[in-house]
Amino acid sequence: MPEDIQSQDGVYKRIATLVDSWLENHKGETFDLDLICRQLEIRERDNRHNVVKKLSYEVNRGKLEKSNRIYRYIDNTIKYIDWVNADEKNTLDIKWPCGHEDDCEFGFAGHIVVSPGDIIVVAGQSNMGKTAFCLNFLWENMDNYPCTLMGNEYVGTKFKRRVKRMNWKDPMNGDGTPKFELIERRDNWKDIIRPNNINIVDWINLGDNFYQMGVIIDGIQSKLCNGTGIALLSIQKSAGKSLGLGGGFSEHLASVYLSIDYELLTVIKCKEWHTKNPNNQVYGFSIVDGGTKFHNIREMKKCPKCWGKGYTTQGKCDECEGKGWVDK
């Protein structure tokens, strides 16, 4: 064999080995030729051609898939689910926020089934009760489950003043330590998700990158898949919208999806329930005592006079005072 051919073959083998190593460390990712060459620091034209040759080989043998200029690593591993031996009674006895002073509760309490790994999403307009819901959810469950509360707006002094009003339960253990973790977190929430805890994220702020919401939720759920915990995620939504920022991407992976407007809570989605289907139920409520306590929770129905619009041909509906909903 001519020496130059032997030399070329040796160069290709070395580059093919580099590509193999790179692919092993980037499973599940998509990439193009420029990306892999840049990360492998391959700049010469002939060597880039060797990378193309190696990638084409992997495409032909089914290890990679190519669409236009984009390559995708094909993952043929299969994870079988043992549903036969699964414990169908493995659910969490979740307690939902309620009114302790007037003994009221949301009608779905005791009916929604929550299993390990589930995602609960609470979407609400700014300053309409998302944080109150999150803190009350924490208060109702911290005695029975390990809990982690992470957020981007909590300050120690303000948090302490607020929860001192939540006097129906003591947030401290007998040894003087809190019954839950309070963590400041603004991004990459999945990195610190506790697989066996109730994880409460208040709130997920993606700015203009709301299209990433589905990826964020998927990442959080992936950290729960081998544990006994769940996650309650609070996200922003716009007035007049039923879903939070990210639209359907914020809903797809949720087992329970609740939408909060001014003094209204709507069950947008509940995948599993016991005896009473809570989907599309709407509840009115008030939040009192400095935004800490739920009060006067009751089921609502669309106003029969304006059919939920809040106005008639004469203007603002006097039956529902423009809210579109009346007590059921």
The closest alpha carbon to 156, from 190, 175, 183, belongs to: 183
Over 285-327, what HEC string results?
EEEECCCCEEEEEEEEEECCCCCCCCEECCEECCCCCCCCEEE
Q: Which fold has domain 98-303?
A: Rossmann fold (3.40.50)
Cβ count within 10 A of residue 269: 18
Res. 265: pLDDT tops 60: yes
Res. 4: pLDDT tops 50: no
Task: Tell me where in the chain the CATH 1.10.10.10 domain(s) lie.
Answer: 3-73
pLDDT above 70 coverage of the chain, percent: 98
| pLDDT digits 0-9 by tens, 138-156 | 999 999 999 999 988 888 8
pLDDT interval class at 3 (50, 70, 90): very low
| Pair 96, 105: CB distance under 8 Å | yes
pLDDT interval class at 83 (50, 70, 90): confident
CATH number of 3-73: 1.10.10.10
Q: Tell me, what DSSP letter sits at residue 164?
A: H
Task: With H, G, I as helix, E, B as strand and everything else as coil, classify residue 217.
Answer: helix
**Averaged pLDDT score across all residues of the chain:** 91
| pLDDT digits 0-9 by tens, 89-102 | 899 999 999 999 99
- Whole-model pTM: value is 0.81
pLDDT interval class at 124 (50, 70, 90): very high
CA distances from 117 to 99, 138, 255, 291 (A): 28, 17, 9, 29
Res. 206: pLDDT tops 60: yes
Across residues 191-214, what is the average pLDDT?
89
pLDDT interval class at 7 (50, 70, 90): low
Q: How far apart are CA 213 and CA 118, in angstroms?
A: 16
Question: 3-state SS of the chain: helix, strand, coil percent to 5?
Answer: 25, 25, 45
Task: Tell me where in the chain the CATH 3.40.50.300 domain(s) lie.
Answer: 98-303
| Pair 245, 125: CB distance under 8 Å | no
